[in-house]
């Protein structure tokens, strides 16, 4: 299978749509940059109610704005010194 520009029917998938600003920009970019896309649908695991976009498919609709802790987000357990070293080159 050869990979190239998206075309035909495309499914844009993300873990979560929070405010929806980034999700909406990516969707708009795909549609404006790739005219060969005939249909673009969207899917997320978590959809927060305050989002400015509505995905076509979702697993969980969140009526409030909870913090979603992803398994790869270790910064929740970091001390301030560890966080400085990790994200500010020790400064």
Residue 89 pLDDT exceeds 70 = no
pLDDT of the residue at 40: 97
Residue 90 pLDDT exceeds 70 = no
Tell me the CA distances in angstroms from 88 to 48, 53, 75, 77, 82, one per residue in order.
Answer: 31, 33, 13, 17, 10
Longest dimension (CA), the chain: 50
Residue 44 pLDDT exceeds 50 = yes
Pairwise pLDDT comparison (84 vs 1), residue with the higher score: 84
Tell whether pTM > 0.75. no
Q: Which long-range contacts (CB under 8 A, 24 or more apart) does 20-25 make?
A: 20/51, 20/52, 20/53, 21/52, 23/51, 23/53, 23/55, 24/52, 24/53
pLDDT of the residue at 51: 94
């Amino acid at each position: 299978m050869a990979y190239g520009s998206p075309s035909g029917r495309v499914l844009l998938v993300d873990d979560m749509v929070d405010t929806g600003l980034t999700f909406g920009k990516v969707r708009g970019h795909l549609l404006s940059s790739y005219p060969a896309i005939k249909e673009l649908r969207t899917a997320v695991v978590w959809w927060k109610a305050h989002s400015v976009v509505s995905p076509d498919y979702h697993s969980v609709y969140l009526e409030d704005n909870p913090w979603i802790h992803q398994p790869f987000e270790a910064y929740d357990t970091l001390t301030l010194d560890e966080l400085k070293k990790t994200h500010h080159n020790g400064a």
